Amino acid sequence: MLDELRELYQEVILDHGRSPRNFRRLAEPARHAHGQNPMCGDTLDVYLKIGADGTIEDVAFEGKGCAISMASASLMTETLKGRQITEAERMFDAFHRLCTEESFDAATAGVDEDALERLQVLAGVRAFPVRVKCATLAWHTMKAAIEGGAAVTTE
């Protein structure tokens, strides 16, 4: 029992959950979307500052939620800063697979493998299917912000 739980609640996750990075709002004209998980009431706002060439110059978030959703949002902001939005969207897909597919192989995902490696700490949610939504909420919200959507829910 404890092994699986320790796998889910790794030190990195607890650390990011406790002290999330880039936990702030970005002033206009940043892109923004609001995400929520109606089942548990978690809410998240993701902000992106995108340069003329499509580079994510800054990314931040604010919100309330469980350790998994906070850590995932925090790690996401660290991962995405400086990347192209097209790459961010590819990473969205890769991250989703990482959270759900037992046999997921980072090398075949077509995105920066090292970055994905850092997100590997969240793969523990695979053993906790109801918690996948917590891990992916920030990513869904980020995608909605890029696409210009205002709100997203994970149900």
Burial 79-99 (b: 16+ CB within 10 A, else e): bbbebebebbbbbbebbbbbb
Residue 109 interacts with other proteins (CB under 8 A)? no
- Closest Cα to residue 58, out of 91, 92, 23, 89? 23
In the numeric block, the tokens 């919100």 are attached to 63
Residue 138 interacts with other proteins (CB under 8 A)? no
Residue choice 26, 44, 59, 68 for contact with other proteins (CB under 8 A): 68
Distance from C-alpha of 154 to C-alpha of 120, rounded to nearest angstrom? 21
26-34, 40-48, 54-62, 104-112 -> range binding other proteins (CB under 8 A): 40-48
Q: In whole angstroms, how close is the CB of 130 to other proteins at the nearest point?
A: 8
Residue 134 interacts with other proteins (CB under 8 A)? yes
Point out which residues bind other proteins (CB under 8 A): 1-2, 4-6, 8-9, 14, 18, 39-43, 64-68, 128, 130-131, 134
